[in-house]
Structures are given as structure tokens and as C-alpha cells.
Structure 1
Amino acid sequence: MDFDFELILAVAFIVVALAWGYDRIVWAPKRKAVMAGMTPEALALLDKEAKLKLAGTPKWLLEAKSYFVIIAVIFGLRSFVVEPFQIPSGSMLPTLKIGDFILVNKFDYGVRLPVLNTTLIPTTEPQRGDVVVFKYPENPSLNYIKRMVGLPGDVISYHDKRLMINGKLVEEDLLAELPVSLNPNREPVAVFEEQLGDAEHQIYKSYRRNPLEGDWVVPEGQYFVMGDNRDNSADSRVWGFVPEANLKGRAFYVWLHWDDFFSLPSFKNNGLIE
């Protein structure tokens, strides 16, 4: 079962916000009236928790209200500033490794309404070469991460493991050949440095034939994305384009690496994402 944490957090925020508002409008005046009838000496004996319980304020309401600030802060930060994600697959190797924990800038592509993802305040446009997080078009409850390759109006071609954009081959240089033992996908790969826009980054290519070839024209309002692990990535070559409304933000930093529950967290991969 897929859980949409963003939706769950939004519902939690609405619930505690309603509880806080209900308390302020209905029960706070009642508590104030009770305290107005008490002597200064009696008031001095009451701590903050005791004052909140005056006038028979329901316990469930106080419990819900107590979570308002922390949930509001988390909801605000995740929705409008920065959101953490964990890398679950090797589709972005060697840039991002399985178990990397990353931070995503949520306002780079516009300030968006939580859950609905509707743009409230436009900011900057996605750039070719950005590493982007987006809602998977075929199942919006899932978040995917890929590299931005094609912008609206671009003509993308991928044949014989060479990427061409608008009739021009993308520059790449062979850096190394990795044996099976050094590749999590358990096959030998060639490591290339690729230039996409202003982004210089590394990509993997295997030595086996890749059927993911073709030519695409990127429609207006949509984008073409690919994984850096070119022969082990289900991306726009498989399921098509990413609508602008599905973009969540730009991945910009790796802050932790944790292989699994039984291993120790590591900071060896910390750094900006190229």
C-alpha cells in the first residue's frame, strides 16, 4: 500500500488547527471567566496546565491543541521550504546511491499549494541538468527522482546510448570502466562525464544492448527526464513526460547515507548534488 505522507501531514495540520481555533473561540473565554472569579492567591497556585483544564475543557481538545505548533512548523517547512527524501533505487547512480538521504528545495520551481501542488507564486523555471523530484505521472502518490533532460519544445533523441537534444549530441567523456564488484547493479559499466546545460555530472552505461531508444518532442507544460544510470532507469523513455504540475522541487544536497536498519548511518556522501 502506498502512503501519501504529504496528504497525511496536511490532514493532521487541518485537524490540530481546527482544534486550536475551537479552543480559542469556545473554551478560552470560559477559562478566562473562571479565572476572573478567582482570588489572586488561588490563581498563584495554578500552573499553566491546571489553568488550561479550568471550565471543564475536554482532555481530547487539549491533547490535539498541544500538537499544533510542532505540526504547523513541520508542515510549513516541508511544504514551502525544504523536504527530505530517501533514495530507494539505483536509477540515479553514480550521482545518488541507494540509501542516500537528500534535501529538496521546494520553492525553486514556484511556491506551491500543498497536496494539490498548484503554483501560488511563480519563481524560476526548471533548468536542463537539474536533479528533480516529482510525482510519478502514473501514480501521483509516489515520488520519483530523475535528471531534467528535455524542456518544453525540445526534440530528444536517444540512439546507440547517445543523447541528442535539438539535433546536437550531448558532450560526454569516458572517465573509467568499472568491474562488477564496484557496481551495485552487478554488471560492468563505463563511467562518463556528461554536460547538460550548466551541470557537469557522471553517468553509467552498461555494455549490454538497451532497447530504451527513440525520438520524442516534449509538449508544452511537460518535461523529459532520465536517470543517470542510463541502462537501469525507468524514466521518460518508458512512461512518458512529466507534467509541470507534478514537479515538487530540485534536489540539492545529500545529508546522510544509511544502507539499512542494521547498519550505521554515514556522512561519507555528504555534499551538494551536481
Structure 2
Amino acid sequence: MANAGARDDHAEYRARGLRGWLLGEGRQLLVMLVLLAIARTSFANHYGVPSGSMEYTLMPGDHVMVDMSAYGVRIPFTDVTVVPRDTPRRGDIAVFKSPRDGVRLIKRVVAVGGDRVVLEGGHLSINGKPLAEAGAPDLEWFGDRSARLNLDAGGGPDIDALVIPPGQVLVVGDHRGNSIDGRYFGLVPASKLYARAVGVFWRRGEGPVWKSL
């Protein structure tokens, strides 16, 4: 009987200890995990590049740091924006879900609402102005940012004088002939872009690097 009483006392002691841990350190650990989840889904994350559709800017196997709050801070796991921030700009490399099948993609925003787009032979003109200079046809400029194109597979489908409606963006890969992009699945609502690429931090065959985007 004495041994049974001792076991009961020990079990009660352990139960009190567990309750104490759950109310103390356990609660702190849970709060920390929740905050980490919120930070990852709302502020910063990374993206592994699965294909060559963005060559030469992004190569297969690259790991890219992305800013999840670039276009607004959202409630985790939803599309509800609670703190608006920047709007997409030409030249941004954005992460979004394909309107066709929901697959996560990373492409370049080449045109925004109000832009008139012509794409011929893989080369873009926006509002009547070619983005590449005559002496460097494979280098396009989006303001102060440039993109070196890969045209080894041709230019892909052309676009003839498309005007982008307000609130929409056109996304296209830098590997113009090897990219399933807005020329196939159409325009993307600007509100559906949920991250902007900041830089490459790991490259296959090289290891740790930093290449700003």
C-alpha cells in the first residue's frame, strides 16, 4: 500500500510539473513558434528555382530570398492585406500562383496597368519604347534595372499591342522561348503577387553567393 501511495504521489508530482511547463516554458515556446510562422508567411521566405524559365537572371537550383511583405502585409495563409505597401513595378521578379493550375511560379513583371505592350521575337517594347538598346539587343532595361535575356530557344509567342487593364500585370520569363508565362495563362491580378525576389543567396555549383535582384 505504501508503494502504491508513493507511485500516486509521484504521478501527481509529474502531472503538476507538466502543467507548470505548459503554462510556463511551453507557452513561451508555442508563442515563439507562432511568431516564427507569422514572420515566415508575412515577411521573409525563400524560393527554390525549379527551371530555367528565368535564365540568365535565375538559374535552375538557385535559392532566392523573397520579401513576403513587399506588396503588403497579409494575414498568414490568406490573401487579406492588413498593411498595404508597394505596388508592382516593371522589372520586379515576383512570386505568385499560376492562374491556370495554382502552381507557384517566379517571373518578371514586364508591364503594369495602363501599359501598352508589344513583344516581337522575344524583345519588349512598352508604350512605344524598346527596352533594349540597338547595340545590346539581349539586354533589356526596366528603369535602372536590367535583364539579360536567353534567346537560345527563340522568343516564344509574340504580343501585339496589348493594353494592360488597371490592377493587372503581365509576367514573362527572361528565357523568352522557354517560359510558360502570361503569354499562355493571361494577366495576373496585382493583388495576387505575394512576394518580391530580393536576391540569390545559393547557386548550384557555387554554394553561398549574394546576387541582388
TM-score, L = length of structure 2: 0.81
Q: How many residues end up aligned between the 2 structures? A: 199
User: 1:188-207 alignment to 2 at 5 Å?
Assistant: 192-206=138-152
Q: 2:80 aligns with which of 118, 124, 128?
A: 118
Indicate the residue corresponding to 1:179 in structure 2.
Answer: none
Report how far residue 174 of structure 1 moved.
Answer: 5.9
The structure whose residues are more often helix, as a share, is 1
Q: Structure 2: which 5+ runs fail to align? A: 1-12
Q: 1:154 aligns with which of 115, 130, 133?
A: 115
RMSD: 2.9
Indicate the residue corresponding to 1:164 in structure 2.
Answer: 125
Alignment of 1:243 onto 2:189: yes
1:137-193 Cα deviation digits (max 9, x unpaired) = 1233x2111111010111111123321111221124666xxxxxxxxxxxxxxx822
Alpha carbons 1:174, 1:193 under 8 Å: kept: no
The one-letter code of the counterpart of 2:152 is S
1:23-69 Cα deviation digits (max 9, x unpaired) = xxxxxxxxxxxxxxxxxxxxxxx79x962247xx9x9xx9x968624
Relative contact order: is structure 1 or structure 2 higher (C-alpha 8 Å, sep ≥ 6)?
2
Alignment of 1:101 onto 2:51: no
Alpha carbons 2:43, 2:69 under 8 Å: kept: yes
The one-letter code of the counterpart of 2:127 is N
Q: 2:18 aligns with which of 49, 52, 57?
A: 52
Indicate the residue corresponding to 2:210 in structure 1.
Answer: 270
Distance in 2 separating the partners of 1:126 and 1:231: 24
The one-letter code of the counterpart of 2:182 is S
- Among the aligned pairs, what percent are the same residue? 32
Distance in 2 separating the partners of 1:149 and 1:238: 15
Q: Structure 1: which 5+ runs fail to align? A: 1-45, 176-190, 260-264
Report how far residue 258 of structure 1 moved.
Answer: 4.0
- DSSP 3-state at the match of 2:207: coil
TM-score, L = length of structure 1: 0.64
The structure whose residues are more often strand, as a share, is 2
- DSSP 3-state at the match of 1:75: helix
Report how far residue 111 of structure 1 moved.
Answer: 1.1
The one-letter code of the counterpart of 2:116 is V
Q: 1:229 aligns with which of 170, 175, 200?
A: 175
Distance in 1 separating the partners of 2:100 and 2:191: 13
Alpha carbons 1:134, 1:145 under 8 Å: kept: yes
